[in-house]
Amino acid sequence: MKQGAHGSAGTGIPDHPTAPPRVPAQPRAADVARERDTSTPSARGEHTHSERPIPQPRVVVQRSSVRGQIVDALRTALVTGELRPGEVYSAPALGDRFGVSATPVREAMQQLALEGAVEVVPNRGFRVVERGTRELAELAEIRALLEVPVMLRLARTVPAARWADLRPLAEESVRAAASGCRATYAESDRAFHSAVLSLSGNEQLVQIAEDLHRRSQWPLVGGPVRHGRADLVADAAEHTALLDALVARDLDVVRALAGEHFTGAP
């Protein structure tokens, strides 16, 4: 860190208060013109010979990583119902829970606010958004409108070998459902659907569909859990059945299974 007129360690207090500020010698016009014609880093404005290159922001990267972990943890808490609809949670309290400062928690909560999961309550924290069955039905309708036509098109064009690559994801969702852990199943469920849609080559579609999918997994008002283990297992079984229909290019079965899957999705 620079010292001198700005003081030691960037405190803002001069090292020698009584010394007059030093004014660097001004370059001549000819020198300035020559410098502009060069292709050196100083001419491009990157840094001058008297300045050290700015180091990589390692602290920022680390903080971003912590924030990402907190976002994932909060999403899991939403799916499992640990963060209850209508309840207000403060960043400091959640920070104590996760063993971190309030700053990454606040940043993570801001991300969830952008996604519509929580809303800011001034001077208090963040309230988990209350959702009802009508909103869930609307999300299912939108997902069906987006994904079913894509699945039908993919069923006509994607070879069986490509679908075989998705078999492990379908089987993983079955195992996750059997565990009874909603957070684990929610993740594997999104992974399977994202993998199917990714075969379209439309990354924007994948991102939008994943956002809608995540919203459909948030808890409803009146209880954190809408479905039990049996419902999760039944939902996961539809993944393998849908995959079989896609391999067989049976468009009627794909349409029926996909429509039923979105309507009753956990």
Range 15-27 average pLDDT: 44
Give the integer Cα–Cα distance in Å for 184 and 208: 21
Query: In this predicted model, what pLDDT tens digit does every residue of 25-80 receive, in sequence order?
Result: 444 444 444 444 444 444 443 444 454 554 443 433 345 588 889 999 999 999 88
Domain coordinates in residue numbering, the chain: 59-128, 133-263
Span 225-255, pLDDT tens digits: 456 788 899 999 999 999 999 999 999 999 9
Take residue 166 and report the two structure tokens written for it. 């998705």
Contacts of 246 by beta carbon, 8 Å cutoff, 6+ apart: 151, 154, 155, 158, 163, 196, 254
What fold characterizes domain 133-263? Answer: Four Helix Bundle (Hemerythrin (Met), subunit A) (1.20.120)
Fold of 59-128: Arc Repressor Mutant, subunit A (1.10.10)
Instruction: Check pLDDT > 80 for residue 265.
Output: no
Q: What's the Rg (C-alpha) of the chain?
A: 27
- Residue 218's pLDDT is 84
Tokens found for residue 51? 């300045």
Per-residue pLDDT at 95: 92
**pLDDT number for residue 263:** 76
Task: Give pLDDT, residue 195.
Answer: 97
Whether the model clears a pTM of 0.75, i.e. scores above it, the answer is no
| Sequence-separated (6 or more) residues with CB below 8 Å from residue 257 | 238, 241, 242, 245
SS (H, E, C) 134-185: HHHHHHHHHHHHHHHHHHHHHHHHCCHHHHHCCHHHHHHHHHHHHHCCHHHH
Tens digits of residue pLDDT in 127-185: 999 888 898 899 999 999 999 999 999 999 999 999 999 999 999 999 999 998 889 99
Contact 136, 223 (CB under 8 A): no
Question: What's the confidence (pLDDT) of residue 63?
Answer: 53
> Of how many residues is the chain composed?
266
